[in-house]
Structure 1
């Protein structure tokens, strides 16, 4: 749930347009009939220059076989010079851009790799797939610069911690970062003009469970060599954990909105009650709706400011994020959701006033399920934090039915990384939520809605409705906001001694909905 946010992927290694060195030194003997699959796959490289056959079905077969065997933790043993790296020492280790895979080959993508160490001790094996053959990318200290540290004398294939994908996303003559796979099952992406923000995860297990969360790991990646002029790159991944193994296929298409098409097949070792699919992880420190006594010159600090949902009933929901005093878990029950995600709607620099972090450039991530996902719930976990360096918000889909041991479960979905919800309903959207002290020990809640559909409607015809499960609500008022060319809805909440109040608000014209549904949980 937490990651070292200060470790900026852009700052570890940036480079000029990339050329290729010969990174392919040897080949692992990939497992096929009659061989122990996983143990053979991650063994030491052997000298086979031609590679071995590979197809997407191979990864599913390996995941299926792994799930039939007892779990073995990933290799996290490091040689002495790398065992106890501090954060600052690890940051000194930078990939040498001239060593990038496919550099100088006039291809649309290139790969750079992360060194193992610090939080990233687990070994990850990475293969290049070309013409249906997989060849391992073999570690060498020559791939990295080590700053003022001595170059480690490593003769074995140490593997990597992860990798990042570069391409000409912002301009044709420079290969910027597009996406990164690093740490457990975390991955991130950017769209044109944006910088890294929230993360996605291949799988989350037991999130917010008092007994502790289980973090699956991507153990091996196979990256298909792109064709010249290709607009996408394909990454295959094998995931493993105590409770399950899984196979993934990512088709990555960078652009104004970067798209990840994901095909996942899960093989549980045990019955899993608390599974999280299509997991997103973000940070919310404070905003106009929840400053919580923060003494900071910046008006707001967050990677995401709300959870958006398009449910199977045709509703569009906006749930502003909070930094609560106590752990909060919310579940939005649904059947075959159309989409959900953690969004950053505020895109004005003056909302944040942070010249370094540039939170207005952080991407939103929208999950679009492909096919019928059935009954379940979108879960939102909000964790108290006193700093912006830790992720404290998690969202995911949890099926209603338990995930049974020895079963096989396939999920297909798409992640849209960009600045907005990809297919919004033609309704006014929430652009701001503000909460402060009201009269007579109430809380004044102010919601701004903006939408083309509000224009031309007489203000007297626009009505606001507010529902609540506890406490009392009064003075519900909807009136024009000339500064936003929208409608402002305000009301007072008198919670009394209640510890939590569920709220729901929406704009209507007669019986017709004019806005998405605003939902929030008030807590002291």
Structure 2
């Protein structure tokens, strides 16, 4: 199996041959809808690639599950009761094309991913707050700490829409819906040694940076950092 450094060099060569698309011009900030943010920091795809390259030179560290007892209490039925408040979506005020909503953690999605909003080359982490959700008939909202985190996100069909068309939820899974608004098979960022006698490896996305388009744009750009025992990666996905 290729080690982390070797695999990164191969991926870099493939990216150079394919020709990486030019970075888009800065877009206006999505409406915050009461979302809490961290401190603004500079962001660029070049810097993200350098970060992934640096990670490839260091030993892999398994992700740590925090607040395990709390998350274990969120079984399948309880997870279905947790609903993101539509009005809290990133850009739900109509300032962007596809508002983003955030998935909660639970028994089957215990490892958080960091989410960031991009604006004019500046990145701000989206901070978890239980007030973004309703919890149905449960009392779960009273026990969640502010550092709990998210398990992923989804993009809505537009401001005010009740349907979504792309979702990243847990591990390295993501999927998109088709013309009939039905989701197909899930995909992964990278799959290593599938269907071989050796153990399979599925590196996971650890952080995402969300860059919505203007209301009349058809593009939503997602940047992602991927990490695993054998590979690291930096992704730029133009979603149309």
Query: TM-score, normalization: structure 1?
Result: 0.38
- Partner-residue secondary structure (3-state), 1:76: coil
SS of alignment partner, residue 63 of structure 1: helix
What is the deviation of 1:197?
1.9
Which residue of structure 2 lines up, in the alignment, with residue 69 of structure 1? 58
| Structure 2 unmatched runs, 5+ | 1-30
Deviation at 1:79, TM superposition (A): 5.1
The reply to whether residue 98 of structure 1 matches residue 98 of structure 2 is: no
1:52 matched to 2:41:
yes
Q: How far is 1:226 from its partner?
A: 2.0
Residue 173 of structure 1 and its aligned partner are, at CA, apart by: 6.8
Q: State the distance in 2 between where 1:145 and 1:128 align.
A: 23
Q: State the structure with bigger RCO (CA 8 A, min sep 6), 1 or 2.
A: 2
Q: Distance in 2 between matches of 1:156 and 1:62?
A: 27
Residues 497-508 of structure 1: pairs in structure 2 closer than 5 A? none
SS in 1 for 2:36: coil
Match of 1:23 in 2: 35
In the superposition, relative to structure 1, how do residues 124 and 173 fare at CA in structure 2: closer, same or farther (>3 Å)? closer
What's 2:221 paired with?
Answer: 234
For normalisation by structure 2, the TM-score amounts to: 0.81
State which of 120, 127, 132 in structure 2 corresponds to 1:143.
132
Query: Do the aligned residues in 1 keep the contact of 2:212 with 2:219 (CA within 8 Å)?
Result: no
Does the CA contact (< 8 Å) of 2:209 and 2:223 recur in 1?
yes
**Corresponding residue number in structure 2 for 1:82:** 71
SS for the counterpart of 1:128 is strand
Equivalent position to 2:147, from 157, 163, 172: 157
Match of 1:212 among 191, 199, 204: 199
State the alpha-carbon separation in 2 of the partners of residues 67 and 218 from structure 1: 15
- Structure 1 stretches (4+) deviating beyond 6 angstroms? none
Query: Higher Cα Rg: structure 1 or 2?
Result: 1
Deviation at 1:185, TM superposition (A): 1.2
Q: CA–CA distance in 2 between the matches of 1:20 and 1:245? A: 31
8 Å contact from structure 1 (residues 106, 228) kept in 2: yes
CA apart distance, 1:84: 3.8
Tell me, which stretches of 5 or more residues in structure 1 are unaligned?
1-18, 28-50, 254-524
Q: Which of these residues, 188, 203, 209, is aligned with residue 222 of structure 1?
A: 209
Deviation at 1:75, TM superposition (A): 2.9
1:164–1:218 distance in 2 versus 1, CA, 3 Å? same
* Local SS of the residue matching 1:205: coil
**1:3-402 equivalences in 2 (<5 Å):** 20-27=32-39, 51-78=40-67, 80-150=69-139, 151-168=141-158, 174=161, 176-253=163-240
How far residue 130 of structure 1 moved from its aligned partner, in angstroms, is 0.3
